[in-house]
Structure 1
Amino acid sequence: MQDPYSERMSSSETRAASGLALVFAFRMLGMFMVLPVLATYGMDLQGATPALIGLAIGAYGLTQAMLQIPFGMLSDRIGRLPVIYFGLLIFAAGAVLAATADSIWGVIAGRILQGAGAISAAVMALLSDLTREQHRTKAMAMIGMSIGISFAVAMVVGPLLTRAFGLSGLFWATAGMALMGALVVATLPRAHQHLRHRESGVAKQALGATLRHPDLLRLDFSILALHAILMASFVALPLALVEEAALPKDEHWWVYLTALVVGFFGMVPFIIYGEKKRQMKRVLLGAVSVLLLAEVFFWWFGDRLWSLVGGMIVFFIAFNLLEASLPSLISKVAPAGGKGTAMGVYSTSQFLGAGIGGIFGGWFYQQGGLGLVFIGCAALCALWLMVAWGMREPPYVTGLRLPLSVDAAINPALAEQMLAVPGVSDAVVIAEEAAAYVKVDMRALDRAALDRLVA
């Protein structure tokens, strides 16, 4: 029998975490592969205009934003697997619709339908059902890595697939990956219980406090702005490579590969500095400033290949740094027992930003060309800087969920006793879950005292 307190993940936990990471990767690949190609290849579609291309790029984000939290709550009521299977089938149907479309409106409809397969919250809830408490952070990190890798792969594979098979072939590949994801889900271990887990799911009781928390709202605006800038920039950058740098669209892949690889390694020292020196606010503000400078650089010097490649490297250093650090900041800032709800609102903001960025990026290009897109992105960066400036330095804490006995769970003084333990900064006891959620500074925590108190 597997030791419930083992420091090693069991084979079923490893299988569950890697399988769900693969499901995420397949789905995000399908979402992102169109990003570097739709602005160039999409103009051949019937009725295509720059504004409609922008809508096609960002359309999936609108339905994702609307359905993300409701689908997560639905999975609590009817089970994780029905929601995940349904979402993957809807995603595949949207890809088929886009693949068979000969007009831009058909592609837009397909992208909207793809976004309706909003299964992220249900997948994270299933992960909680299939992993033990002490391994959940590792399992979630595997999913986070899969999303980052899928984005990088999509930026390179998207142009190569489209060059070989056209836009319809790209969408057919996306449909195939969604079905492969469903097959992966079918091989996962079965959960014996559905955990109501506030670290990975949305709790209605915590929603009001989350929406009133000023620093959480600043971080929600941050991810909205980041993905709006990403989508708007990728309406303009592929067109700049064709129109300004005269680089054939089937050769764009090496530009994205170069920018992403250098950008990934370029952000690592700043992440290490921010965490070790506890200067994440400074890192955040610095990255936003660099993003603003990159957009201004595109505006002034985006008429040569070397300047576009150099600008994209700087852009992706800042983008990768922000994409990696913002979820960590949400985890630090969210109150005890509120991380799942905070992440639900954060994900909704992210997808909403993608929708807004695509729509406005296309409209700006249609109204004023590439320059207006880059000016608009720079202006949004400037607004973002003003919003983020008032954020407090985040607390450097880790969230823990501690199972409780029935007697401990109904002890009205337990949360107060936990707050008296050195290193514990926040604590809440949820009697109906028979669990306590605490925020702790691992450098200062007296773990033995906390364990004795819980025991």
Structure 2
Amino acid sequence: MTRTEIRAATSLAAIYMFRMLGLFMILPVFSIYARDLPGATPVLIGLAISAYGLTQAVFQIPFGIWSDRFGRKPLIVIGLLMFAGGSVMAAVADSIYGIVAGRALQGAGAVAGVIMALAADLTQEEHRTKAMALIGVSIGISFAFSMVAGPVLSGWIGVRGIFWSVAGLALLGIAVLYSVVPTPQRVRFHRDTEAQPARFSSVLTNPELVRLDFGIFALHAILTATFVVLPLILRDELRMDTPEHWKIYLPVFVLSMISMVPFVIVAEKKRQMKPVFLSFILLTAAVDVILAGFTPTTLGIGLLLYLFFTAFNLLEATLPSMVSKVAPADLKGTAMGVYSTTQFLGAFVGGAGAGWIQGHHGIPAVFLFCAGIALLWLAVAFGMQKPRHLSSLMVNLGEISASAAADLSARLRGVPGIADAVVVPDEGVAYLKVERERLDRSRLEALLNETAGA
């Protein structure tokens, strides 16, 4: 990667992280804080936690489309200002209703896809995977940091202070956008990062992609539902003050991140993705069943959360990788757009559903709700095909006619190790799905050189 590409990837990852911190930092503390708000009920508390998911799901694909027309940076600024405005609205709210509205406005500033598209504008095709991986890592770091920082900050500045802080982070993101992020020479559509609305039917009728979409829906429904009630258990059952909750979360997250690595290696390197994947869905269900009938102790909660987050981290890491493997070569962006939409819908359903269930049936019923979702997911995933170990590869071809593109696509599919190939003449790019171990690189290079010289 060039220096400009590295600067673009790191600064955009930072902006992405600022926004994700704002969404996640209240998760481990809000249920406790909200109990004393005027008008608060379990349903409204769950809705306040998850309202961002609904608006994020509604607006994220339109934001990407608008950014193609009006520019990336202006749309990112609009989204971050909406996010900051929602944070301020929540910070000054004197009732639960104001926080629900603020969280919904936070989610409506749905710039995640626009950030990805800007990263694509600023990186060469052969380096784009590295840039996207860096942004992906920033998401994981922001989530883990939020679980620890949220309780600590709540003790220092309170939950209102957290909302003010994340408003400041959004404004800092705008400053980074214009002072550090390069401006692309041109904005164009990227099939690997952006959705094609006209092709949604191809994604929504693909049974393997639908299974994975349901998977991320279920995973984030379970996660959000868990944090509607988990802080209450730590506070009321274990008698831990909210600022002390980090003492549970920190070791749990560190150990779970370390523990998942061997299983990821087995899944990817040993070609055991399906059995590992199904096993960790089952582990998630088992943990929730135990939590439903468990008398909480500090050691017991710590052990169960360690198992839960080991499963969560592994599933969260493998799902997008599987989507990338399964999606047709020129539909990765569309597949990921639908996938992200279902992820945020899952967060909304999980939070709202958990709030209603807690209010009517109590905390144990919430964990049974999560276990039921996990078991349904297990049934859906059980019929999945064994994932092929494919990687996405993009090749910049330059100017090419439609007839030459069609001919090259057919010839590329004949190269050993290439499972799918689509050449898009308007973009001058070849989108490939390859088995790297089998790929005949010399034949591929010879074919590309022949095309370049034609």
Match of 1:305 in 2: 298
TM-score, normalization: structure 2?
A: 0.97
Cα displacement (A) at 1:336: 0.7
- Secondary structure at 2:271 match in 1: coil
Cα displacement (A) at 1:109: 0.5
Cα displacement (A) at 1:84: 0.4
- RMSD of aligned alpha carbons: 1.1
Alignment partner of 2:423 out of 422, 429, 433: 429
Match of 1:139 in 2: 131
Cα displacement (A) at 1:195: 2.8
- Secondary structure at 1:428 match in 2: strand
Q: Deviations over 1:222-275 (max 9, x none)?
A: 000000000001111111112222222221111111211111111111111100
CA distance in 2, matches of 1:92, 1:405: 41
CA distance in 2, matches of 1:297, 1:405: 58
Residue 163 of structure 2 is aligned to residue 171 of structure 1: yes
Match of 1:5 in 2: none
Residue 218 of structure 2 is aligned to residue 225 of structure 1: yes
Kept in 1, the 8 Å contact 2:400–2:425? The answer is: no
Kept in 1, the 8 Å contact 2:400–2:428? The answer is: no
Partner amino acid for 1:51?
V
CA distance in 2, matches of 1:405, 1:242: 60
CA distance in 2, matches of 1:266, 1:350: 24
Match of 2:432 in 1: 438
Alignment partner of 2:37 out of 20, 36, 45: 45
Cα displacement (A) at 1:409: 5.0
Cα displacement (A) at 1:295: 0.4
TM-score, normalization: structure 1?
A: 0.97
Match of 2:100 in 1: 108
Alignment partner of 2:335 out of 330, 342, 349: 342
Residue 76 of structure 2 is aligned to residue 84 of structure 1: yes
CA distance in 2, matches of 1:357, 1:68: 19
Kept in 2, the 8 Å contact 1:71–1:119? The answer is: yes
- Secondary structure at 1:337 match in 2: coil
- Secondary structure at 2:426 match in 1: helix
CA distance in 2, matches of 1:283, 1:134: 30
Q: Show the 5 A alignment for 1:56-455.
A: 56-187=48-179, 188-407=181-400, 409-411=402-404, 412-455=406-449
Cα displacement (A) at 1:451: 2.1
Cα displacement (A) at 1:404: 2.0
Kept in 2, the 8 Å contact 1:64–1:351? The answer is: yes
Partner amino acid for 1:310?
L
Please list every run of 5 or more consecutive structure 1 residues that lacks an aligned counterpart in the other structure: 1-8
Cα displacement (A) at 1:358: 0.5
- Secondary structure at 2:9 match in 1: helix
Please list every run of 5 or more consecutive structure 2 residues that lacks an aligned counterpart in the other structure: 450-454
